[in-house]
Amino acid sequence: MTWSTTTELLPHQADAVAKLLPSRVGGLFAEMGTGKSRCLIELAARRRAKVDRVVWFCPVSVKETVRQEILKHTTCGEDDVFVFDDRTDAATMPLDRPWYVVGIESLSASVRVIAAFDALADERTFVAVDESTYIKGPHASRTRRVTDMSRRARYRAVLTGTPFTQGVVDLYAQMSFLSPKILGYNSFWSFANNHLEYEKDRRTGKVTGRIRRSHNTDYLAAKIAPYVYQIRKDECLDLPPKLFEQHWVAMSGEQHEATRVAKEDLLADEGTYDSPHIAIFRLFSRLQAIACGFERGRPIRHHRVAGLRDVVERIPEGEKVVVWTKYRQGLDDVTAALRDAHGTDSCREFHGGLDERARGREVEAWRREARFLVATQQSGGHGLTLVEASHAVFYSTGFKYSERAQAEDRIHRIGQGRPCTYVDIAVEDSIDRRILQAVWSKGASLEAFRRELDTCKRKGMRDRIRDIVMAL
């Protein structure tokens, strides 16, 4: 069929298309909110004479968002966009649609989805992986499958705002999907031997799985430069500022006791002193759960919900609000409290317990009529555009800066005309202090903490490890 675009490119989007169009493969490393989807649609439009279909891989949670973007920016109708679901089968799937939207996670286990994609991939196909850090693991089954089957496609593209969540190690699989010729390595081991230095166990001398440092990064930058367009929001968009606040609440007696027991359990385990960074980062998860009001799945008394109520009361009445939480159990606490205070229809949910259709309906209902959208970062942190709100409350958050940045930018992107306010609810004298330090420093403080633990391990400093644990 013949279709065309219906919206104009912004200047930076036009630059991106001009850079990527001459090559059959390319990476768009553009910060969240800069309009990566519009760039991909334009690339597909300009290649219409040479491709019959675009297969657009994305996180399952944003398939509906991708579909809406296609309909918004093109003359395509509802029937022109085929979205894979739990019933998609190669034998019954239509083969004449210009657009196919596929959840990238499905390639990990669904034989049906694998077979259906295999039926689509040929010389007349354009395959794109959106949020391509989902294929950053070179040995993961989804990475191998999408890479191998996409070799038949005429055009390939990767899109992400955070290409290096764990350093240059993330680069290998994304570039290999495009073409192994870009980096010049036919295996991850060749890449690792030239660019990655791994730590060694001080007792056995064996190489561990943890990367100490990267080498020859200038070489990698030069190799990918012809195939990648990279841009940040502050370089291309005149967006309103981000404003940050913290709201601290006291730790309850039960939380104090649970925290003490968790630390003592760790210090009583001799394995802690052999592998302190593994043991202590496991403790982090336990301490964060305690700070959020539950210990080993059991609810304990806390003041976090009361803090949320205080924060919401200070937001002007009628302003839409996105509330982020790390834990599903925390989400249930939040929705119950908001509905109790503001009415049963005031709140909508977005989490992994809902199928993709239900999540889409929840977001649309929030846009139409509800005030609060409560979402887990894992499910809602990618792809959604939530610019109807200019306030976001982090009821709880994780250590990874990349995940936090993704969640923040759901409201701070093209279409937002007001300053965006972010409020972190945190518990005094808890692991929340360390988490917020990691977020504010974009992970730098967490890396410094890892280095300190490694020093303690190498020098056998048991007392220092104990001091570190008790200070958490």
Q: The whole model's pTM is what?
A: 0.74
Neighbours of 428 (CB within 10 A): 12
What residues are paired with 158 via a beta bridge?
Answer: 27, 129
| CATH for 69 | 3.40.50.10810
275 and 354 share a domain? yes
Is 218 a member of any domain?
yes
Are 418 and 276 in the same domain? yes
Q: Examine residue 205 and state whether it is found in any structural domain, yes or no.
A: yes
Q: Which of 207, 236, 265 is the last residue of a domain?
A: 236
* Shared domain check, 17 and 82: yes
Count CB atoms within 10 A of the CB of residue 388: 16
Residues 71 and 175 both lie in one domain: yes
CA angle 20-22-23, nearest 5°? 75
The torsion defined by the Cα of 296, 297, 299 and 303, in degrees rounded to 10, comes to 70
Residue 180 structural domain: 11-236
pLDDT on residue 76: 96
- Distance between CA 20 and CA 349 in Å, rounded? 38
Backbone angles phi, psi at 45, to 5 degrees: -60, -40
Per-residue pLDDT of the chain (472 residues; tens, 9 = 90+): 589 999 999 999 999 999 999 999 999 998 878 889 999 999 999 999 999 999 999 988 788 889 989 999 999 999 999 999 888 999 999 999 999 999 999 998 889 999 999 999 999 999 999 988 888 888 899 999 999 999 999 999 999 987 776 778 888 999 999 999 999 999 999 999 999 888 777 677 777 777 778 888 899 999 999 999 998 888 888 889 999 999 999 999 999 999 999 988 888 887 766 777 677 778 888 999 999 999 988 999 999 999 999 999 999 998 999 999 998 888 999 999 999 999 999 999 999 888 878 888 999 999 999 999 999 988 877 778 899 999 999 999 887 887 888 899 999 988 899 999 999 999 998 999 888 888 887 765 566 666 666 666 655 567 777 777 777 7
Is 227 found in the same domain as 149?
yes
Residue 445 is predicted with a pLDDT of: 54
CATH code of the domain in which 338 resides: 3.40.50.300
Same domain, residue pair 226 and 246: no
Of 202, 236, 270, the domain-final residue = 236
Q: Is residue 468 part of a domain?
A: no
In a domain, 107, yes or no: yes
- Residue 467 within a domain: no
| Domains contained in the chain, number | 2
Q: Which amino acid is at 292?
A: C
Q: Cβ(171)–Cβ(224) under 8 Å? A: yes
The predicted structure's pLDDT at residue 291: 94
What pLDDT score was predicted for residue 460?
59
Statement to judge: residues 200 and 250 lie in one domain: no
Q: Are residues 133 and 225 in the same domain?
A: yes
Strand pairing report for 81-83 and 99-103: parallel
Angle between helices 432-440 and 401-408 (to 10 degrees): 70
Does some domain include residue 312?
yes
Residues 314 and 409 placed together within one structural domain of the fold: yes
Residue at 369 is within a domain: yes
Q: Is 153 helix (H, G, I), strand (E, B) or coil?
A: coil
Asked if 145 and 107 count as a contact pair (C-beta separation under 8 A), the reply is: yes
Do 265 and 219 sit in the same domain of this protein?
no
Q: What angle do the packed helices 356-368 and 63-73 form, to 10 degrees?
A: 60
194 and 308 share a domain? no
189 with 277, same domain: the answer is no
Residue-level pLDDT at 60 = 85
Residue at 460 is within a domain: no
> Could you give the 3-state DSSP secondary structure of residue 221?
helix
Residue where a domain stops, chosen among 209, 236, 263: 236
